Structure 1
Amino acid sequence: MTKHYLSLPIFGLLTAMALPASAQDADTVVATVNGTEITIGHMIVARSTLPQQYQQLPNDVLFEGILSQLIDQTLLAQSFEGELPKRTTLSIENERRSLTAAEVIENVLTTALTEEAIQTAYAERLEAFEASEEYNAAHILVETEEEALAVVAELEAGADFAATARNQSTGPSGPNGGDLGWFGPGAMVPSFEAAVIALEVGAVSAPVQTQFGWHVIKLIDTRKTDAPTLDAIRNEIVSDLQASAVASRVESLAETATIDESSAEGIDPAILQDLTLVE
């Protein structure tokens, strides 16, 4: 990084470093550029917006780099002549609107995201929870119905299902004895799922055709799904509470606000691509 302006921040930097920690706050001035102050607060905010990989750099490296960047930006900003382009003014307005709204949202979420609210939402989910059936099955996949019928005959004659799957199945689960693990409704293609549901535990199906070929299926076991623990769905609950709280606040504000969107009627949405309008 070049140090064309190194002489400018030295005094402020040394002063800040010399201050005891208790005397430093967001308003502590670390440098001035033609009378414009750069504070620790400016640096903290600048650091917080850096990409994560840069935030991992040592503090002394970040301090020097951020201060130099803010000085460079201040010099460049001070050199600007004339009126700001409309796009810049509009960007500043949008950014102010966004940041101010974010402050309101943060306050809303602080009130909404209590442990009591999370526990209440979890209890409501438990009350509405309905256990579904899950299946543990294995299969042997072959190309033709004749091959599938031959597999069924071998199994009826006493052949071991897992060994037969390892020797004859063309599916990816073959080396694992055809084991498909546990799965719930909708996880398998309809004809395969229907055959599984119709089986008794331990039974083997007649050949079943799918787009993948012909299957001989064995139902190993069934079970009911357990209700999720709070830890398992906490993030989901928090996300739902956040969305609900913000939507509720916006709806409440809109009910007492005067909002007129009539001017937007008839405007071609393609206008959003016309950057020449904000030059």
Structure 2
Amino acid sequence: MNRLIPIATACTLAMGAALPSHAQEADTVVATVGDTAITLGHVAAYRASLGEQVNQMPAQQLYDAVLDQLISMAVLADGREVGEVEQIFIDNERRSQLARAAVLDLQEQPVEDAEVQAAYEEMFGDFESSPEFNASHILVETEEEAADLIAQLEDGADFATLARENSTGPSGPSGGELGWFGPGQMVPAFDQAVQEMDVNAIAGPVQTQFGWHVIKLNDTRQTEAPSLDEVRDELAQQVLSERITNEIETRREAADITIAEDAVDPSVINDPSILAR
């Protein structure tokens, strides 16, 4: 085990399990390595980079492990000059952090009701109601089997029971129920039959590429646009997303961007020797 771990643990215990609230600041120095200060902000940022994989660790254990890692990093980095390759990674990370901060600034700006209303009207302003169907079916291999099932239904047999006993389709175990669907969602012959049926009517035998169907129309309804409240959160997220996209496009248009066309072979992106020391 790294011999720095007991030292880090000792420092932590010396500070106490619960620091005064005024000390819980990002610039609070929690350790030093020579002239290098490791702050609570460094600890918190490194912990954030670990994501959810460490959520189950006790806070003390996690704190100790993160601090120990930061100390190890500091002693390895001490006195080392930033080389060309290292600077490339540092540049990318710096830009990434600053871009993330810019995005957070945009996300923290409140979404106004008028923006949500405008997004709702754009999405659903031209909404046209259309029919939906709720149907069940029994799928069998031959027309004769389908005709026999229709005869049984006409004599009072239960549709769901016949479906469970006879249907070869995946909906058989659930009594043949297909749920709600709209025009064009089923194969043409099936779709046409359903659209011409009355509620509770039986149709068939209807042939499709899957076999022969006996169909029961359970119910119909007209689709309706969701209310504003039902989609408010979704629309607010859309407004935020568009806000970020628009900001990026605005800044790109204002920036002096030059791309060196045909300057490199794109396949070189997969060549690790580009970053060879």
TM-score bracket for this pair, using the shorter chain length: 0.7 to 0.9
Aligned mates of 2:2, 2:152 — CA distance in 1? 79
Q: Partner residue of 1:90? A: 88
Q: Does 2:266 correspond to 1:269? A: yes
Higher mean displacement: 228-237 or 61-70: 228-237
User: What is the number of equivalent residue pairs in this alignment?
Assistant: 276
Pairing 1:29-108 to 2, within 5 Å after superposition: 29-78=29-78, 80=80, 84=83, 86=85, 88-108=86-106
CA distance in 2, matches of 1:241, 1:155: 53
TM-score scaled by length of structure 2? 0.86
CA drift of 1:69 comes to: 1.1
C-alpha distance after superposition, 1:38-93 (max 9, x if no partner): 0111111111111303033222112111111111111122264x65351x321211
Q: 1:109 aligns with which of 100, 107, 118?
A: 107
Over the aligned positions, Cα root-mean-square deviation in angstroms equals 2.7
Q: CA deviation at 1:223?
A: 0.5
Structure 2 residue matching 1:206: 3-state secondary structure: strand
1:189 maps to: 187
Q: Secondary structure at the match of 1:129?
A: coil
Return closer, same or farther for 1:4/1:166 CA change in 2, 3 Å cut-off.
Answer: closer
Task: Give aligned-pair identity as a percent.
Answer: 45
Instruction: Call closer, same or farther: CA 1:215–1:110 in 2, change over 3 Å.
Output: same
**Cα distance 1:84–1:185, how it changes in 2: closer, same or farther (>3 A)?**
farther
C-alpha distance in structure 1 between counterparts of 2:237 and 2:67, whole Å: 37
Q: CA deviation at 1:205?
A: 1.7
What is residue 127 of structure 1 aligned with on the other side? Answer: 125
Provide structure 1 residue ranges, at least 5 long, that are not aligned to the other structure: none
TM-score w.r.t. structure 1 length?
A: 0.86
Asked if the contact 2:8–2:64 (Cα under 8 Å) also holds between the matched residues in 1, the reply is no
Question: Aligned to 2:212, what secondary structure does the other structure show?
Answer: strand
Change (3 A) 1:126 1:248: same
Distance in 2 (alpha carbons) for counterparts of 1:260 and 1:266: 12
Q: Which residue of 1 aligns with 2:235?
A: 237
Structure 1 residues 190 and 110, CA gap change in structure 2 (3 angstroms): farther
- Residues 218-246 of structure 1: CA distance to partner in whole angstroms, max 9, x if unpaired? 11110012322446434532342233112
Select between 122-131 and 8-17 the one with higher mean Cα deviation.
Answer: 8-17
Higher alpha-carbon deviation: 139-148 or 149-158 = 149-158
Deviates more, 1:10-19 or 1:98-107: 10-19
Q: Give yes or no for the alignment of 1:138 onto 2:136.
A: yes
| Rounded Cα–Cα distance in structure 2 between residues aligned with 1:160 and 1:11 | 76
Query: Which residue in the other structure is 1:26 paired with?
Result: 26
The one-letter code of the counterpart of 1:278 is: L
Partner of 1:147: 145
Query: How far apart are the structure 1 equivalents of 2:17 and 2:166?
Result: 75
Measure the CA separation in 2 of the matches of 1:125 and 1:149: 46
Runs of 4+ with >6 A deviation = none
Contact residue 5 and residue 64 of structure 2 kept, 8 A = no
Distance (whole Å) between structure 1 residues aligned to residue 106 and residue 252 of structure 2: 16
